Structure 1
Amino acid sequence: MFERGLLGVALILIATAASALGSDGLVVSTSPHGVAETADRAESAITERGLGVFARIDHAAGARKAELELPPTELLIFGNPKAGTRLMQCSATVAIDLPLKLLIWEGADGVTQVAYNAPVWLDARHGLGDCAAVLENVEKMLSEIAAAAAE
């Protein structure tokens, strides 16, 4: 009976992880705050961890300049050049997905969404080999940043 209970818990955890990680490699969560406040919170969480924010792109502002409409949508580009360079030394193609990115947007239902590329997806895409060992720490950090943005 105990083994069956553990199996049930494991299946629930796998199903939960699968729903958070889409087939496109994105981990998506929601925030109770608006896009700008969520992005501000994420930016603070990033800098508190000693990472650099290289850019904050307001896609909705760009759309307005082009006389188009887009719900609030911001992209934070951030990272640590020392860690990123080590990954690029293992596989040059990972540079297309670095620095790290956090996308924050208002969904059609008005709910703020937060998304990032799952590090396991980066390994699958770029074959990072032994370098993939650091991705567990990257996943933990990204998860913490997304959670801090939505607190």
Structure 2
Amino acid sequence: MTYPFISRLVTVAALAGALASQAFAADGMIELQSQNGFQATRDKLIDTLKAKGMKIFTVVDHASGARSAGLKLRPTTVVIFGNPKVGTQLMQCAQTAGIDLPMKALIWEDAKGVVRLGYNDPAWMAARHHVDDCKIVTKMSRALGNFARAATTASR
């Protein structure tokens, strides 16, 4: 074994670790760590969505559902939201995208007490539905990233 080989191996391992910590995942869900508590992240997301003209269809409190069944679950909430002016454009490119709409954001507290926010990557959704050239996908990606960052960035 030579030193250049070890050097390359260390470089590859470091790159893999860096990629794993980014705000994206190969499985199609973009995940960000929040600098806020669970409730603040949830509230900031909902406030941001409303301020940007998104309709909040419903908020699903999975932890509450678990309690009603006599089970325990750390804070876990899904916010279901959208804007027909946006979602319709994606469905005009591929109607099957309707299965992934309206958009959803998952906010949860992990086993270490870290609050996270995740959402489906519109580019992944487009690939899933075999959409090659749909201009709204880039706009959706940018908007969702902005919403997520607004919710997960510490309040000043």
TM superposition score category, shorter chain reference: 0.7 to 0.9
Partner of 1:5: none
Name the count of aligned residue pairs: 137
Cα distance in 2, alignment partners of residues 136 and 88 from structure 1? 14
Pairwise CA distance, 1:127: 1.5
Cα distance in 1, alignment partners of residues 127 and 61 from structure 2? 30
Greater gyration radius: 2
Structure 1 residue runs without a partner (length 5+): 1-11
Pairwise CA distance, 1:18: 7.9
Pairwise CA distance, 1:48: 0.8
1:77/1:101 contact within 8 Å kept: yes
Kindly indicate whether residue 81 of structure 2 is the aligned counterpart of residue 78 of structure 1: yes
Classify 1:135/1:147 alpha carbon distance in 2 versus 1 (closer, same or farther; 3 Å). Answer: same
Cα distance in 2, alignment partners of residues 125 and 18 from structure 1? 23
Q: Which residue, out of 106, 130, 133, partners 2:133?
A: 130
Partner of 1:142: 144
Classify 1:38/1:18 alpha carbon distance in 2 versus 1 (closer, same or farther; 3 Å). Answer: closer
Structure 2 residue runs without a partner (length 5+): 1-14
Partner of 1:102: 105
Cα distance in 1, alignment partners of residues 47 and 19 from structure 2? 28
Considering only aligned residues, what root-mean-square deviation do their CA atoms show, in Å? 1.7
Cα distance in 1, alignment partners of residues 68 and 114 from structure 2? 24
2:89/2:136 contact within 8 Å kept: no
Cα distance in 1, alignment partners of residues 132 and 27 from structure 2? 21
Amino acid at match of 1:83: V
More helix by share: 1
Cα distance in 2, alignment partners of residues 18 and 150 from structure 1? 16
Cα distance in 1, alignment partners of residues 104 and 125 from structure 2? 12
Percent of pairs with identical residues? 44
1:104/1:115 contact within 8 Å kept: yes
Cα distance in 1, alignment partners of residues 144 and 33 from structure 2? 14
Partner of 2:11: none
Cα distance in 2, alignment partners of residues 16 and 48 from structure 1? 32
Return the TM-score normalized by structure 2.
0.81
Cα distance in 2, alignment partners of residues 84 and 93 from structure 1? 12
Return the TM-score normalized by structure 1.
0.84
